[in-house]
């Protein structure tokens, strides 16, 4: 199933590159578009385990947090996958994400703020991220973030590289429609994945602890959104840019609905 999602994502975003290139430069533009798309896809695939980690300056944390690393190993054992590498992001806002192109090359990053939760709540969060790795959602998510970001750069290449293309329609096409298309495909992938990861992760921990953690993380995100690249929003357990992203295009289902489903599982 993940291979189908991967094919659809890469195909859809590559078509956007081709369309933009053809509109502004005909066949020559299409050649540029397909070249950039192929290079971006290859880089994103081979370095998906480190792309977001470097973006948020995450550092290895296994030795500094042995209890947390032990919890991650326990949960990974229940999931039947190798233990992911543990990383820490230096921000006081609680959140977490997983990355990596396969279970063998995966990592889970938690923020310093997550440490304020109870160990049971943290294990619920870790279980959710391990579920993403087990489902192989992390490869698709990281590719979406990388390629979507490249679309903006591609837009600048044509808009500011040729003064003839600086029309109102061109600006609308590149800076509204193309990023919107990328956001929609990320949303379609992520919203269903979150429910699935909640359900699977609850089986590796306790659904009530995960529900409690989601509520606390969501409240913190509204009060103080994380500073970062919004193209990575779909990778976090809760949208960390909740204060600046329109609800209509949210990459996550409502936390209230996720919490309600988890609490029904505990009955």
Catalytic residues: 129
Q: Please state, in angstroms and rounded to a whole number, the distance separating the CA atoms of residues 178 and 194.
A: 24
Nearest to 79, CA basis, from 182, 202, 246: 202
Q: How many CB atoms lie within 10 A of CB 257?
A: 13
Residue 253 DSSP code = -
64 Ramachandran zone, left/alpha/beta (phi>0; psi -120 to 50):
alpha
Nearest to 179, CA basis, from 8, 6, 7, 17: 17
Parallel, antiparallel, or unpaired: how do β-strands 96-102 and 105-111 relate? Answer: antiparallel
> What tokens appear for 55 in the block?
């973006």
Does residue 107 sit in helix, strand or coil?
strand
């Amino acid at each position: 199933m993940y291979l189908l999602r991967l094919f659809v994502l890469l195909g859809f975003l590559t078509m956007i590159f081709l369309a933009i290139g053809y509109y502004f430069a005909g066949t020559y533009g299409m050649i540029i578009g397909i070249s950039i798309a192929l290079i971006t896809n290859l880089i994103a695939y081979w370095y998906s385990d480190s792309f977001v980690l470097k973006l948020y300056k995450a550092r290895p944390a296994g030795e500094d947090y042995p209890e947390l690393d032990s919890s991650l190993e326990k949960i990974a054992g229940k999931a039947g996958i190798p233990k992911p590498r543990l990383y820490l992001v230096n921000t006081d806002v609680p959140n977490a994400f997983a990355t990596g192109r396969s279970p063998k090359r995966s990592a889970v990053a938690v923020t310093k703020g997550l440490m304020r939760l109870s160990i049971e709540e943290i294990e619920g969060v870790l279980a959710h991220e391990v579920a993403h790795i087990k489902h192989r959602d992390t490869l698709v998510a990281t590719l979406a973030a990388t390629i979507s970001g490249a679309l903006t750069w591609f837009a600048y290449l044509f808009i500011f590289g040729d003064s003839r293309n600086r029309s109102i329609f061109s600006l609308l096409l590149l800076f509204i429609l193309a990023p919107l298309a990328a956001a929609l495909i990320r949303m379609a992938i992520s919203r269903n994945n979150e429910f699935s990861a909640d359900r699977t992760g609850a089986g590796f921990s306790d659904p009530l602890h995960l529900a409690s953690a989601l509520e606390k993380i969501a409240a913190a995100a509204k009060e103080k959104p994380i500073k970062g690249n919004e193209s990575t929003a779909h990778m976090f357990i809760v949208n960390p840019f909740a204060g600046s992203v329109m609800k209509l295009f949210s990459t996550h289902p409502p936390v209230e609905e996720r919490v309600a489903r988890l609490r029904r599982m505990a009955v």
